[in-house]
Amino acid sequence: MSSNDKKYIKNYKKIYSILEKDIKNIFIKQKTEISINSFGGVYSNFLYDILKNSGLNINSSAYHSKNCHYIRPIKITSNLKCILFLYNEDIRIALSSQINRNIFHNYYKLFPSYDYLNNNNINDINNIKIKNILHNLRGNHDYPLIEDWLKLIYTQIECWTENNNNNGYDIIIINMNKLDDYKKDLFKYILHNICSINGSLNHRQRHIMMKLYNSIILQKELIKKNNRKTKEYNRRFSDDNLSFVEKEWVEKIDKKLIELPNFKIIKNTI
């Protein structure tokens, strides 16, 4: 076995050894207040930095190691008040952004943990795992199988945007291309649901809201379209280089994304 194969297997075990119960326990232990999930390439780090710099407790090892791109919400009863599901309407731009930056670990964070149980699609997902192990051991290290990446993202979108939310926290869907239009709604949510649940603000909470007011509300344009580095599809996502099946998955995902609300709070029901 080559050194590259050994390195891949080591990284594979590191990623997949993180169980859903571990993610849950870390969020509880670290008293995380708010978190983010996305399929990547949608300015999620930009919003993460704003929330982190405000003083909100968002910086969790569970987020960085797995939950930032995990395939579904995990039931957690803790300080966690909400997870933001961020997206844009063009999956090829989002994935091109990641491929251009050689960020392939986002793809592997999508994979369900060993204690993931879902009888509806567990066989399909297990087959994807096996295919990717073989794919990498044959010398295609880190570079993902595009069809499988798209399949996992489709499942991720379904899991995070369904209306039946009994996970222990609210889920807020945000179209990052429309963040400027809904930044006041996000600000109000944080104010009333995270910082002032009892109707008053302590010193820390006042500091957080002032920082958020300055970094969100006072900014005329949070995300400047011209600042986006990825404006065109990576050639792997051009029409000529996509297989027929890959094109079908792209169309299915983009259709689902276009149908999503620009901003919606899916309230926790438990």
* pLDDT tens-digit map of 59-78: 999 999 899 999 999 999 88
pLDDT band at 198 (very low <50, low <70, confident <90, very high): low
> Is pLDDT above 70 for 146?
yes
Question: What is the arithmetic mean of pLDDT over 201-222?
Answer: 90
Q: What is the mean pLDDT of the chain?
A: 85
Q: Residue 236, class by beta-carbon neighbours within 10 Å (0-12 exposed, 13-18 middle, 19+ buried)?
A: middle
Can you say whether the dihedral through the CA atoms of 211, 212, 213, 219 is positive or negative?
Answer: positive
Torsion of CA 69, 264, 94, 215, to 10 degrees: -90
Q: Residue 129, class by beta-carbon neighbours within 10 Å (0-12 exposed, 13-18 middle, 19+ buried)?
A: middle
User: Quick one: what percent of the chain has pLDDT higher than 70?
Assistant: 81
Which position has the token pair 């073989």? 134
Question: What is the arithmetic mean of pLDDT over 228-236?
Answer: 87
User: Number of structural domains, the chain?
Assistant: 1
> Is pLDDT above 60 for 143?
no
The rounded distance, in Å, linking the Cα atoms of 22 and 10 is 19
| Listed range (4-13, 51-60, 62-71, 90-99) with the worst mean pLDDT | 4-13
- Residue 270: the pLDDT is 84
Range of the structural domain that residue 112 is part of: 3-266
- Residue 119: the pLDDT is 47
> Is pLDDT above 70 for 185?
yes
> Is pLDDT above 80 for 162?
yes
pLDDT band at 111 (very low <50, low <70, confident <90, very high): confident
Residues in contact with 133: Cβ distance below 8 Å, sequence separation at least 6, in sequence order? 12
| Listed range (28-37, 68-77, 142-151, 181-190) with the worst mean pLDDT | 142-151
Question: What is the arithmetic mean of pLDDT over 163-168?
Answer: 90
pTM score of the predicted model: 0.87
Angle at which helix 3-16 crosses helix 122-137, to 10 degrees, equals: 160
- Residue 73: the pLDDT is 95
> Is pLDDT above 60 for 186?
yes
